[in-house]
Structure 1
Amino acid sequence: MAPKTRLLHERLAAVVSQLRHGEMIYVADAGSGTSSASLVPLSPQVETIDLGIAPGLPSVGDLLSVLCEVGDFEAAIVTEDMVTANPEARKFVSELVGEENVHELRYLPEFYNLRDRVKVFVQTGDYSVHGNVVLVAGYPSPPIPLNWLTSPTWFEDLPAAPPSTDPGSPEA
């Protein structure tokens, strides 16, 4: 019997076990700046976990494989440049979550803006070009629209529902 895959990193295991539908994990390469002095600083409100131990270790692919095996993820978001700059990684992500569940965004500013909306930012030792991936937590249900995931004001932008005509409704 093969051993069950599990996360050994205590904090990452806790985060994955607490993810709720629509929350996101940003799996980043080693070059993704996390300090306030970075070219595009990461919000100090976002928790970071640095797993990088040496160049290439772990890779983004290593971490994605484990996360998808132990967690519930309904989609992945990548840069639109990944398909040409890193086709092997793009194919890997597609095989992991299904092509219909891979969303592409423009690298700057849309993809980078997601960094400040994620539950946790996990930095690996990977040095791949356009290798970063955002995993969207979920379960078998209608997929969350990409414009909701990428807009911090999506809820305010929804049109107000018309008042109910049901006499038993609290709005009637």
Structure 2
Amino acid sequence: MSKNRLLHERLAALVSTLRHGEMIFIADAGSGTSSASLVPLNPDVEIIDVAIHTGCPTVDQLLPVLWEVGDFEAAFVTENMRQANPSMRELVQGLTGPDHIHELRYLPEFYDLRNRCKAFIQTGDYGVHSNVILVAGYPSPPIPVEWMTNPNWFEELRKTQSKKD
């Protein structure tokens, strides 16, 4: 059996250029990307639409391929996924391991984090709570979740350090 390869030119380029701590959002078809969406996506986040038709591809088809060909260390999912889509949560945890899957509240935390992603990959998935954020990494100590979820962590770290000095 041959190894999976990304044939989608832009996805392959994206995965090959991800650096430690950068994130990508893999979205179901219900995740809006326009400025008129219920929760608009930051215009600085690149949108890569891979949807072909309803249900193609699904997040659970794309996710294992991205995990295999890329260097990822963790994933964020919504707290709702545990109840609303347990098979998807099992898939994500099977890839990441139990210590590297992190749950966030759907609104606003999960949607806030998508605006810090390098890219937003739109699938044709109509599953409920199928969205997953992958965190790029490599064999090293994991990046603390607080750093990933708090856009002001670096300034807060500086303040803490200056108080110690």
Q: Does 1:79 align with 2:78?
A: yes
CA distance in 2, matches of 1:99, 1:130: 19
The one-character-per-residue Cα deviations of 1:118-142 (angstroms, maximum 9, x if unpaired) are 0100010001111100000001111
In terms of fraction of residues, the more helix-rich structure is 2
Partner of 1:167: none
Letter in 2 for 1:61: D
Q: How does 1:4-43 map to 2 (within 5 A)?
A: 4-43=3-42
Partner of 2:61: 62
The one-character-per-residue Cα deviations of 1:71-130 (angstroms, maximum 9, x if unpaired) are 010001000110001001001111111111100000000000011100100010001111
- For structure 1, which runs of at least 5 residues remain unmatched after alignment? 164-172
- For structure 2, which runs of at least 5 residues remain unmatched after alignment? none
1:5, distance to aligned residue in structure 2 (A): 1.0
Q: How does 1:135-150 map to 2 (within 5 A)?
A: 135-150=134-149
Specify the SS of the correspondent of 2:115. helix
Q: Does 1:115 align with 2:123?
A: no
Specify the SS of the correspondent of 1:58. coil
1:3, distance to aligned residue in structure 2 (A): 1.9
- What is the aligned length? 162
CA distance in 1, matches of 2:102, 2:136: 14
CA distance in 1, matches of 2:3, 2:103: 32
Letter in 2 for 1:64: L
Name the TM-score, length of structure 1 as normaliser.
0.92
CA distance in 2, matches of 1:9, 1:36: 26
User: What root-mean-square deviation, in Å, do the aligned CA atoms of Structure 1 and Structure 2 show?
Assistant: 1.0
Deviating beyond 3 angstroms after TM superposition, the runs of 4 or more aligned structure 1 residues are none
CA distance in 1, matches of 2:138, 2:2: 24
Name the TM-score, length of structure 2 as normaliser.
0.95
1:146, distance to aligned residue in structure 2 (A): 0.8
1:4, distance to aligned residue in structure 2 (A): 2.1
